[in-house]
Structure formats: C-alpha cells, structure tokens
Amino acid sequence: MEAKAAAKAVYQGKRALVSTALLALGVAFELISKSDPKIMEEVSDFKDGFVLCLGVLPAGPEIYVLKEGGRLKYLGKKERAADLKILFKNMDAAVKLLIGLMPAHTAFAQHRAIVHGSLYDAMQANRAMAVVQKYLFPSLMLNYLFKRPAKFTGRELMIKAMIYATLTPFLAINAMK
Amino acid sequence: MSYVPDYYEFFCPVKIVSGIDALPCLIHELDQLGAKKPLIVTDQGVVGAGLIEKVKAVFEGTDREIGGIYDKTPPDSSDKICNEVARMYRDLGCDCLLAVGGGSSIDTAKGVNIVITEDTDDLLQFQGAERVKKDMEPFIVIPTTAGTGSEVTSAAVIANVEKGVKMSFTSYKILPDVALLDPKMTLTMPPKITAATGMDALTHSIEAYYCLQKNPVSDSFSITAIKLIMDNLIKCVENGKDAAARLYMANAALLAGVSFSNSLVGVVHGLAHAAGGVAHVPHGIANAIFLPYGIEYNIGKVGDIIAELAPLMGVTDSSGVAEQDAKAVADAVRDLNRKLNSMTGMPITLKDAGVDKGLLEKIAKTAINDGTIIMNPEEVTYEDALELLKKAY
C-alpha cells in the first residue's frame, strides 16, 4: 500500500510539474509573439482562429494557444476544439521534454510524442516551440536541445531578459485559466 | 560503429509471400483471412499491362470471386476517391481489399479501409498518428513496382480535395495483412520506371540507416535492401524480363519499406515530397536527384554512420577516414544515377526533370514543413533547403 501511495504521489508531482511547465510554455508563446516576429513567421500558414493544443495522453494536462490578429494568445487549460494537437504519450515523456532533458526531435524519433492533425502544421508548430525554448532555456541547454547551436542577436538577448523578468507575473495572471 | 538508441519501437506484422509463382497463393491467403470476395484497387496502367488478367486467372476454377475492380486510381489519390471506392465495396458486398499496383493504389486502399472500418466519409479527422483504433478489413497487397515499399508501411498520403492539402495517416492498424511479391507482376515495368522506383527504394534504405529514428532492427533491413539493390537494379533495367533480378528487387523494396516505416527518412524525402507537390517531379526521380546531396549534407553529423555503407555501395578502397568514406557513398550514388541516366534517360538534375528555377523557393518552403525533416540528423532551415535545391538544379 505504501509503495502504491508513493507511486501515486510521484505521479501527482510529475503532473503538477508538467502542468506548470505547460502553463509557462503557453504564456511564453503569447509574450514572445508580441516581441519577436520570428515566431509569427513560423506559424504564418496558420489561419486566424487556429488553435494549437499541447498535452499529455491519456488524461491531460493540456493547454490551448490561439492564433488571432497576428499574435498568439494563451487560452488556458480547459478542453476545447483544436486544429492541431501535439501529445506526449505519457507523463514521463512530457517531463523530459518540458524541462529540457530531451530535444523535441528525439521525442518524436522515439515515439514519445505524436501528432493529431496535419504534419505540415505540426512542423510549423514545432519550429514555433523551438523559438519559445530559445528564450526560456539557458543558452548552455540549447546546445543539447537543438540540432544546431542557437545564436542570439542583441535584440534577442534583450527579449530573453524581458521574458525572464515578466514571465512569473504572467504565470500568476494566467494560472487560473 | 554499433548503435542501439536509448529507446525505439519496431512493428511489422505483414505476412510476406514471395517468389516465382507466388500469385496463385492468393486464394489460400484470402482463405486464411476468412475473405471470399475481394475488391481490387488498381489503376489504368496496371490494367493496360495485363496484370489484372493475371490476378483474375488465379480465381478461375475456384469458388471465390472478385467482388469488383476499381481501376481509376490516379497518381495522387484523394479522399473523394477513397469514399467512392468504399461505397463500391459496400454496394458490392465485398469482404476484403486487394491493392494491385504502386504506391497510389496501395495508399488508396489504406484510405478506403479507414473509411469502411471507421464508418466515416471524413478522412480528415483521422489525420496524424495513431488515430485509427478499430481493426481493419482484410487487406492484401500485390505490388507492381519495386520502390515504394508501401505494402509494408504504416503510412498513407491522401489528398483532401476540398481543402487542397495532402493528409498523412500513420497507424499500425492500416498495415496490410499480406504482401504478395511475384516477379511476373513487375516484368512489364519500363526501364525508366524501374530505375526511378529502384532509386526510391535505395533512398528509403540509406536514409533510414542514418536518420534519427534508426534502430538495430531497421538497420538490418536497410543493409540487406542496399545489397539487393546494388546487385540487381542495373540487371532489371538492362533486362526487364530477368525474373530472378525482379524478385530480388521486389524484396529489396519491401525490406527498405519495413526499414523506413520504422526508422523514417530525412531531408532527401522532405525535398522530394515538396518537389513532387510543387513541381510534379515523380517521387523516385526526385529521390534519386536529391540523395547524394542529402548524404553529403549530413556527413558533419553522422558521417561515421554513413561511412558504414561504403562497402555495400561498391566502395572498394576505404580511406579509413569516416568523412571521406561517407563522401564516397554519395559519389557512388552519383555514379549509379549517371549509369541509370545513360541507360534510361532518368533525369539526374532538377533542370533535366523540367523544374522551373522560379519554383525553388516554393519547394524549399514546402520542404521544411514536411514531417520527415524533423528526423534528419542535421538541422534544415529554409535557407539550407534552398541551397540544396540550387545544388541539385
């Protein structure tokens, strides 16, 4: 019984971690889309009203991000229709990718993440997610996460600093969505 | 260099029936699946080559019957066609799908099977990976080309006419039950198509060997496929009636299919899919054109892995330096391309393939959104893709 309770506690801990990481990702999508046009270039083929879902199988958590008016907007965690879903097969896979222990290309190569929807759209979403990771993770980690080392312009470094400074209050504002 | 990834998955439950006079085994295989009345999915080229008559002959003197024949499959199939064929299947009371043809007929049959089994007329909702949950109708494939390997792959590409997009379906459920390889079904393939489809199979096996989803099981399939192709492709082009060489090539395409269905492919296929979609370059030809450039592009990341293929590609004097041996693999592909070009006229540049140079940017933009790009070892940006296209032009 104790082992079962411990396993449950570990799972709940991972779920809380993933939930928070997904919230940070969703909020970062919104913040970065206001600052760096690169992310909007990556999703330029998404029509206005396009909804992207990132989540964990079989029962969440998941987040929804909307493209609207040339920006990305974090919609929250409540289930809704999505044009594209990128789903981790289990909580462990989600933990590894979301805290930077596994590159996205490895997650796909190892079948740990799957796509529901168009692969064409998924590739754009993946590159947009790479833009977000570039700002969220420390530069040293990016060498492991990306196939090619990330380079930063002066402006991008300023955006990175701004994201670090503003992410926490934005997380608080959006936590209940 | 031995390589086992931290984690991998492999799946291929397809029964393989291969050999001279394998075709008459079709009736037994139908019995094994509990099927009596197949619907044949094929195209006009296959009918014109007299191959459906060979299939019909197998049913003579048995109590089985062909339920119907859909012979209008176009080179790029669509959801509308899948719905039409599914209606035919139901109306005629068929109990099994039998694809006789190349990639398009096989992919169409896979799409039809989803429509029938999931009882839908909207394939779009099943787009993506592992969305089909129900067990499919019995499904047998008789390939008439030796290239796509679609008879053993868990993927299908079907166009959505209304939305103007190509939909990709990946599911372990859509794999056929049986792949029946009989060289008599490929003997009539013209030399140029033999060359292009053979290069398609070579590309599957080489890319699967060095791309990110590689694993020890797919590697073994790739290695055997490459050996068979290097030993038999030229023979098939020289003498299309060489049944033994045709059988070897049919097996090579199948093995390459098993490999890439489980290991996926990379930038060569990304560019080839895009060149096909934008500029209508046939898939095998596009793969042949891009393969040497794709190999060279990845040497910086996986040169040691590519170099392992050098002996299989006929590189007899290894330099002992991985980078140089990997470059020799690319050169060996170029030599093979040149030989096939001189024998059949198969284009080996995009310009020869009739591509308008003004389309290169559009091809590059499409290529970087192809699902295969993520499995390529080296990063591929729009600028990288465009540079590769210019080199291949």
Q: Both ends of chain B: CA-CA distance in Å?
A: 34
pLDDT tens figures, A21-74 = 999 999 999 999 999 999 999 999 999 999 999 999 998 899 999 999 999 999
Average pLDDT of the segment spanning B328-336 = 97
Sign of the CA dihedral with A123 first, then B175, B142, and B216 last = positive
Q: How crowded is residue A79: how many other Cβ atoms within 10 Å of its Cβ?
A: 11
Work out the minimum CA distance from A166 to partner chain B, whole angstroms.
Answer: 30
Q: Please tell me the predicted confidence (pLDDT) of residue B122.
A: 86
At residue B353, what is the residue type? Answer: A
Looking at chain A, the whole-number percentage of residues with pLDDT higher than 90 is 82
- CB-neighbour burial class of residue B367 (10 A; exposed 0-12, middle 13-18, buried 19+): buried
Chain A residues with beta carbon closer than 8 angstroms to that of B128: 85, 114-119, 122
pLDDT tens figures, B124-173 = 889 988 898 899 999 999 999 999 999 999 999 888 877 767 788 999 99
- Using alpha carbons only, what angle is made at residue B183 by residues B178 and B184, rounded to the nearest 5 degrees? 105
From chain A residues 1-40, the ones with a CB under 8 A of any chain B CB are none
From B128, B167, B212, residue closest to A109, measured CB to CB: B212
Inter-chain CB proximity B378 and A148 less than 8 Å: yes
pLDDT tens figures, B197-218 = 999 999 999 999 999 999 999 9
Inter-chain CB proximity A118 and B167 less than 8 Å: yes
Query: Out of A160-169, B192-201, B363-372, which region has the weakest mean confidence (pLDDT)?
Result: A160-169
Residue B390 tokens read as: 């210019």
From B6, B129, B166, residue closest to A115, measured CB to CB: B129
- CB-neighbour burial class of residue B287 (10 A; exposed 0-12, middle 13-18, buried 19+): buried
Phi and psi at A9, nearest 5°, equal -65, -40
Average pLDDT of the segment spanning B312-339 = 94
Average pLDDT of the segment spanning A97-124 = 94
Check pLDDT > 90 for residue A172.
no
- C-alpha torsion B214→B216→B218→B219, nearest 10: 90
pLDDT: which is higher, A15 or B166: A15
Instruction: Tell me the average pLDDT of chain A.
Output: 93
pLDDT: which is higher, B127 or B293: B293
Chain B residues with beta carbon closer than 8 angstroms to that of A108: 374-375
Check pLDDT > 80 for residue B296.
yes
Q: Please tell me the predicted confidence (pLDDT) of residue A167.
A: 86
Residue B232 tokens read as: 């038999």
Residue B138 tokens read as: 């019995």
CA distance A119 to A112: 16
Inter-chain CB proximity A116 and B131 less than 8 Å: yes
Q: Please tell me the predicted confidence (pLDDT) of residue A176.
A: 79
Q: How crowded is residue A41: how many other Cβ atoms within 10 Å of its Cβ?
A: 13
Average pLDDT of the segment spanning A147-167 = 92
The helix (H) or strand (E) run that includes residue B178 is: strand B178-181
Average pLDDT of the segment spanning B113-127 = 91
Confidence band of A1 (pLDDT split at 50, 70, 90): low
Q: Both ends of chain A: CA-CA distance in Å?
A: 35
Q: Please tell me the predicted confidence (pLDDT) of residue A161.
A: 93
CA distance A121 to B280: 22
Confidence band of B86 (pLDDT split at 50, 70, 90): very high
Q: How far is CA B322 from CA A28, B214, B329, in A?
A: 42, 19, 11
Q: Please tell me the predicted confidence (pLDDT) of residue B380.
A: 97
Inter-chain CB proximity A123 and B168 less than 8 Å: no
Task: Assess contact for A17 and A99: CB atoms under 8 A.
Answer: yes
Closest chain A residue by Cα to residue B274: A120
Looking at chain B, the whole-number percentage of residues with pLDDT higher than 90 is 89
Average pLDDT of the segment spanning B188-192 = 95
Helix (H, G, I), strand (E, B) or coil at B234: helix
